[in-house]
Amino acid sequence: MPFVYVIQGFDQGVREDIEGSVFRIGRDSSNQLQLRDSEVSRHHAEIRLVDGDATVHDLGSSNGTFVNGVECKKKALSTGDRIQFGSTHVIFSTRAEVRTNSEISSDVSFQGSDEQVSQIIKSVTPDLSVDISGQNVVTNQRSDDVKKHLQVMYRTTMAVSQTLDIDELLERLMDLIFEWVAADRGCFILLDEKTNSMLPMASRYREGINEQDGIIISQRIVDYVMERCEGVLTTDARDDTRWEAAGSIVGNNIKEAICVPLGGRYGVVGVIYIDTSRTDEAEIIKQDLTRFNDEHLKMMVAIGHQAALAIEDTRFYSSMVQAERLAAMGQTITAISHHIKNIIQGVNGGSYLVDEGQKSRDWKTLEKGWQIVQRNQQRISDLVLDMLTFSKNRRPEVSSSNLNNITEDVVDILRRRADSEGSQLYYEGLAGIHQYMFDPDGIHRVLLNIASNALDAVKELKNGKVTVLVDHDMNERMLQVSISDNGQGILPELQEKVFHAFVSGKGATGTGLGLAVSQKIIREHNGTIEIESDGKKGTCFLIRWPSVSPTERMERLRDSSIVEQNKIQ
C-alpha cells in the first residue's frame, strides 16, 4: 500500500497510508494528511491513484509543491520521491503489504542438528575494495559482469537511501536480490539488541516454491557468520572439516545456500540468507545445477554491508525522534507541574482565609479568601483550555461577525481590572465596519490574551496605558487590531521566543501558552501577529488576517472546488 512519511517539519515522524483514489494534504482537518505548517495551504495538494500509478497535483497552493526540489503542478510519483509542502518534507513510498514478524517467524526456523552435513566452499569478508592490478586483459564477459554488479550496487544504494522504514527497506532489497540471483527462498534475520536473539524480519519465496515447508536454517551457519563476520557459500557435500556432523545446513532438499553478515559501522546487526532446492530428477541424473557462484557471494556481501548501514541509520533516526518526543514530553510535564503547583498553593492560601473567616465570623477575610480561590479556579480553567487549543488541530468555525463588537466585548471584560489596577484602557473601533467571515470565539480569545498581557506589562506603572485600535487595510484587504502599551517593552532578540510554548515573562502567574495559542489561532486564519518594540519602552502587537465578506465567501463556495477553497476562510 502506498504511504507518505514526514521526515522534516512540525509533524516529523507522521506516517499515513494512502487509501482510496484521492489523498489530500493541507492544514485543514478534512485532509487525510493534516500538516501543522503555516506555509502550507488549507488544501495544498492531493495524490491521485489510477491503476496503481500515483501522481501529485498542486491545488493552487500559496507556496507551491516541489518534487525532488523541482516545483510542479502535476508530477508522476515513484517510490522514494521527496515532496515538499511549505517547510514540510515527506517521502512517498509504495510497497506490497508486509507480513508481521510473528507471521514471518512461523515460516523461518533454526535447526541445530540434522543428518545432512553442509560444507563451506567459499567465504568472503566484507572488503568492498576492488583489486584490478595485473588485469591487463578484460574479457567481454568480465566487462558485462562488472557493469551488472555496478548496476546492482547503484540500485541497492538507491533502495537504502530512499526510505526510513526498515520493513520497506528489507522488502526492496529482497526484490532486488531475487531479481539478480536465482534463489528459491530468502530471508533477513536481524539481531534484537534487547534480547540478543535473532528475529526473522522479511522472507521471500520464488513463484512455484511450496511455502508450506518454510525455511529451515542451520543455527551453526548463522552463528559462524555472525561471529566471524564472513559471508559463506555452502553446499550439502560432506567433506568440509570446518563443520561437525551435527551442523546441517537445512532440510534434505537443499543444494546451495548463501549467508552473509549485515556488517555495519558498529558491528553485525544480522544476516541475509538465500538458498536453492535440488530436484529429484537432478539427483538421479547428477546434473550440475549450480546457481550460486563466487560473484554472487561477493555481491551479496556488498549488499549486506549497504543494508546494515541503512539499518543503523534508520535505528539511529528512530531513536533521535523518540528522544525528541520524550524530551518534549518531559518539558511539558515539568512546565505544567510547575504551574499546577502554583495554582494549588493559591487555592490552599485562599481556602485557609475562608476557614479562618468562618471560625472568627470575619466576613471580609472570608470574602477575600473566596476571591483568591475563584481566581485560581479560573487559572486552572485557562491552563486546560490553552493546552487543548494548542495541542489540537482545529478548523476555524467562521461566521459573519463584526470585529468592533468582538473587540469591544474584550475591552469591557478587562475594564474593571484596569480600573482596579489604576491603568488606563482606551478603545477605538472602526466606524462603519462591515460584517466579515472569521471565527469570533478564536479572535476573541486572541485579543483577550494579548490585551491581558498588555495590562500585566503596565500594572506596576503609575500612568500605565493600554490602547486597542480596530482598522481595515483596504489595499491589502486585511483586518487588523493593534494593542499597544507603555510598559518596559520586549527586547528584539526575545520577540520570537515569546510565541514558544511554556515561555512566560510573568513568573509564577503565567502559563506560557497564551501567545503560543494566539499565534496558532491567527495562523489558522492565514494571518500574522507582529511585534513592534525597541525593548526600552512600549510594545505594540499588530494582529492581521484576511478580510472575507459573507457575499464574497458565498460566491466562492458557489463555484466550490478544492483549489478555490484554499482562499476561503
Q: How far is CA 283 from CA 202, 253, 298, 446, in A?
A: 30, 10, 28, 82
As a whole number, mean pLDDT of residues 470-493 equals 89
pLDDT tens digit sequence for 129-175: 444 444 444 455 555 556 666 666 666 776 666 666 777 788 888 88
pLDDT score of 441: 84
Residue 283 in grid coordinates: 539427483
- Of 228-232, 235-239, 348-352, 496-500, least confident by mean pLDDT is 235-239
Distance CA 101, CA 403 (A): 58
- Percent of the chain surpassing pLDDT 70: 71
CB-based burial label for 451 (10 Å; 0-12, 13-18, 19+): buried
> What pLDDT shows up at residue 404?
93
Instruction: Write down the pLDDT at residue 134.
Output: 44
For 558-567, what is each residue's pLDDT tens digit?
A: 554 444 455 4
- pLDDT category, 240, cuts 50, 70, 90? very low
Which three three-digit cell numbers place residue 529? 501577529
- Yes or no: say if 57 and 44 are a contact pair by the CB < 8 Å rule: no
Whats the size of the chain, residue-wise?
569
> Please, which pLDDT band fits residue 288 given cuts at 50, 70 and 90?
very low
Residue 176 CA to residue 489 CA, distance in Å, equals 63
What does the pLDDT read at residue 471?
94
* 501-527 average pLDDT score: 71
Q: pLDDT per residue over 85-115, tens digit each?
A: 998 988 887 754 444 444 455 566 666 544 4
Q: Is pLDDT at 284 greater than 60 in this prediction?
A: no
Give 69-89 pLDDT, tens digit per residue.
899 999 999 877 889 999 898
Of these ranges, 308-317, 413-422, 499-508, the one predicted with the greatest mean pLDDT is 413-422
Is residue 452 within a helix (H) or strand (E), and if so which, with residue range? helix 440-458
Q: Looking at residue 184, what is its pLDDT? A: 85
Range 354-369 average pLDDT: 86
Q: What is the mean pLDDT of the chain?
A: 77
Q: C-alpha 53: how far from its chain's center? A: 25
Per DSSP, the residues of 184-197 read SEEEEEEEETTTTE
User: Residue 481 has what pLDDT?
Assistant: 94
Separation between Cα atoms, residue 97 and residue 547, nearest integer Å? 47
Write the secondary structure of 11-80 as one string of H (helix), E (strand) and C (coil).
CCCCEEECCCCEEEEECCCCCCEECCCCCCCCCCEEEEEECCEEEEEECCCCCCEEECCEECCEEEECCC
Taking only the tens place, the pLDDT of each residue in 173-191 is: 888 888 778 788 888 999 8
Q: How confident is the model at residue 381 (pLDDT cuts 50, 70, 90)?
A: confident
pLDDT at 75: 93
Mean pLDDT value across residues 498-527: 71
3-state secondary structure at position 259: strand
Q: Is 204 helix (H, G, I), strand (E, B) or coil?
A: strand
Q: What integer pLDDT is reported at residue 45 of this predicted model? A: 94
Phi-psi region of 230 (alpha: psi -120 to 50; beta: other; left: phi over 0): beta
Mean pLDDT along residues 432-445: 88
Max mean pLDDT range (32-36, 468-472, 528-532): 468-472
Angle at 554 (CA atoms; ends 549, 557), nearest 5 degrees: 125
CA distance 520 to 389: 9
Q: What is the pLDDT of residue 485?
A: 92
Return the pLDDT at 130.
Answer: 44
